[in-house]
Homo-oligomer: A and B are copies of this chain.
């Protein structure tokens, strides 16, 4: 089967986009991606929109149809992809399938979410609606799962509290060099460790913000890509997997089954293993998740990811740079956009367009986590040779 290529990428400014709506953000990223790829809207055959909740956030549905209209891409087929906080990764998978199945020779994927016009409580309520009602009714939201897991991890593996803080410090440092990041400012470890408690032991700086934004990727068969550019990226492996929807039914709270399964699937398909990955974007919605994904993906043994972070291995000049974009932590987390934006960062790193964030990389990986690991999509990309 012919390989699937990525020939263009874009993202809007992430942050508070006052006075703009989901439609504006999607159209901005979508039209920039058309331009970046050098593709006419007329040539787009499939258009996927990764978005969790435009209906709940804005009372607006049918956004893929509106986007096809705004980009003047009719009669391109369009559909919305929702996999909660991993909608973006699910969008990459849907777009990959559309090309790999032969249904489309040019697929535009645009992910986005508009959230900041809601209060933090309102936005949290929408996000919490993805949890199992049996847990939610007891007040167990995603941040509280994170707090419980972090407490367990630190005690069981004798990891210092500072190790989690270092994830936040590193990702904020990377975000300074990302002009699209919501926060482009460094924070020191002391600030992180003394910030207000949200879900003990996790504090404010262990959490990603609420964000507006959109990101886009252009996918096509490799033979089509070659007609457009020499500088493209190939999706070498991609897979998605679920874990229990009821989080407390999992055997080991530090193992995210969806990360392990989707990672294994993506490794197998690509022929690469953890040691071949040069750069990775992980879903650091909470700092503890960066540890769990590093371990689930084989970048560290169970209980030892914190040591690699503490040793500086995951810094931009380390052995395995993680979240060079700033991650969800400083770049922001507009739900449907986040997984797509992970892909944008890996694309830019692999084609050498990451500017001051550039690392030396031939193979990259994204891991996008839905819910508290309820469904995870892992994508491995490589620079075209």
Q: Which of A46-85 contact B (CB under 8 A)?
A: 52-53, 55-56, 59-62, 64-66, 68-69, 73-84
Q: Which of A115-138 contact B (CB under 8 A)?
A: 126, 129-133
Asked if A100 is an interface residue, CB under 8 A from chain B, the answer is yes
User: Which A residues are within 8 Å of any B CB, using their own CB?
Assistant: 1, 52-53, 55-56, 59-62, 64-66, 68-69, 73-84, 90, 93-94, 96-98, 100-103, 126, 129-133, 239-246, 257-258, 261-262, 370-371, 374-375, 377
CB-CB under 8 A from A132, the residues of chain B are 66, 69
Q: How far apart sit A90 and B53, CA to CA, in the bound complex (Å)?
A: 18
Q: How far apart sit A312 and B60, CA to CA, in the bound complex (Å)?
A: 41
Q: How far apart sit A243 and B77, CA to CA, in the bound complex (Å)?
A: 9
Say whether B62 contacts A130, CB under 8 Å. yes
CB-CB under 8 A from A97, the residues of chain B are 94, 97-98, 101, 103
Say whether A65 contacts B257, CB under 8 Å. no
Q: A257: nearest residue on chain B (CB-CB)?
A: B75
Distance to closest chain B CB from A261 (angstroms)? 4
Say whether A83 contacts B101, CB under 8 Å. no
Q: How far apart sit A175 and B111, CA to CA, in the bound complex (Å)?
A: 41
Contact among B61, B93, B129, B262 with A62 in the assembled complex (CB-CB below 8 Å): B129
Q: A49: nearest residue on chain B (CB-CB)?
A: B82
Given contacts A69-B245, A69-B246, contact A74 B257 (CB under 8 A): yes
Say whether A65 contacts B375, CB under 8 Å. yes
Given A62-B371, A69-B132, 16 extra CB contacts under 8 A: A55-B56, A55-B129, A56-B61, A62-B131, A65-B371, A73-B242, A74-B243, A75-B257, A75-B261, A77-B240, A79-B81, A79-B83, A80-B83, A97-B97, A97-B98, A97-B103
Q: How far apart sit A246 and B78, CA to CA, in the bound complex (Å)?
A: 15
Q: A125: nearest residue on chain B (CB-CB)?
A: B59
CB-CB under 8 A from A1, the residues of chain B are 102
Say whether A83 contacts B74, CB under 8 Å. no
Pick the 6 closest A-B CB pairs, nearest first.
Answer: A62-B130, A69-B245, A77-B240, A100-B101, A101-B101, A75-B241
Say whether B245 contacts A60, CB under 8 Å. no
CB-CB under 8 A from A131, the residues of chain B are 62
Q: A74: nearest residue on chain B (CB-CB)?
A: B242
Interface centre among A62, A93, A101, A131 (most CB of B within 10 A): A62
Distance to closest chain B CB from A31 (angstroms)? 16
Distance to closest chain B CB from A175 (angstroms)? 28
Q: How far apart sit A261 and B45, CA to CA, in the bound complex (Å)?
A: 12
Distance to closest chain B CB from A361 (angstroms)? 26
Q: How far apart sit A261 and B65, CA to CA, in the bound complex (Å)?
A: 15
CB-CB under 8 A from A77, the residues of chain B are 93, 239-242, 262, 375, 377
Q: How far apart sit A282 and B312, CA to CA, in the bound complex (Å)?
A: 61
CB-CB under 8 A from A75, the residues of chain B are 241-243, 257-258, 261
Query: Can you show 12 pairs from A to B with CB atoms below 8 A apart?
Result: A55-B126, A61-B82, A62-B245, A62-B370, A65-B370, A65-B375, A69-B246, A75-B242, A80-B81, A97-B101, A98-B101, A100-B102
CB-CB under 8 A from A62, the residues of chain B are 84, 129-131, 245, 370-371, 374
Q: How far apart sit A280 and B97, CA to CA, in the bound complex (Å)?
A: 28
Distance to closest chain B CB from A106 (angstroms)? 15
Q: A54: nearest residue on chain B (CB-CB)?
A: B129
Distance to closest chain B CB from A377 (angstroms)? 8
Say whether A375 contacts B64, CB under 8 Å. yes
Contact among B59, B94, B98, B374 with A129 in the assembled complex (CB-CB below 8 Å): B59
CB-CB under 8 A from A240, the residues of chain B are 77-79
Q: How far apart sit A290 and B243, CA to CA, in the bound complex (Å)?
A: 43
